[in-house]
Structure 1
């Protein structure tokens, strides 16, 4: 819970507010639910339960913070705060320059992912699903028909291949 509160405090403008605590409680509950339902399986040989749940929470926050809906909500919340005279601070929308730099970075990451996938059909399916907007294992599984285990194995394989590509560039 403390980890979730720290993440939410940064996300909610920097302070440990009631809203940050509320979001943190929701994240902890969601991470436990996903663990118990098997959507985020835990391997006790690799990581402690606390470490696993913190990873799930971090993933949930990351997915939410980078989603298009989060940017729309931040804009809506900013408008509501201005109407209400509220003092809460929200992130600024991207400038056009930042948007295009972000878009270029995304295109480069996508190209790297396809290069790392190479001719491996499972990795190609994974990259395609990710490029089409699937973000969770459930969404990827629905899009590709891969099992959760296959997805995580493919993800690890893709990461290793990507590291190899990056190493070659720095040499």
Structure 2
């Protein structure tokens, strides 16, 4: 099964998220991650949903999503180049004396330590899912006390015309 990232532009009103999530469940799709927030246009929100399925079933799901009230547009970002990022906050069992050691682990990931307490610290990292997963593996030995991730945020890459690239 292929992983798909779907962008859904919807009216910003109560019940839309429930209707979209119910459609996924009724069609037997698991939502791996979902991110919802304001869009570039007032009154509209954008949902970014990652799920798995074959192309034919995803195409059918997208047609059904387009039929929902308050859905403006549905795009399978996975069909073309796109940029995807997540944000994670990771609380690690560590003392301030381990700060330098942990900083050397998180620095190559362009992560930052955003809070230091007497028995734990919080690390913030952004990037693709694989990058965050790799950092989590390295932090396991310290003991991960708490983890929260945003889910995937994604946007189609800009298309550059071939003529512009030749100049």
More strand by share: 2
Q: Which has the higher contact order (CA 8 A, sep 6+)?
A: 2
Instruction: Give TM class, smaller chain.
Output: under 0.3
TM-score normalized with structure 1 length: 0.26
Structure with higher Rg: it is 2
TM-score normalized with structure 2 length: 0.26
More helix by share: 1
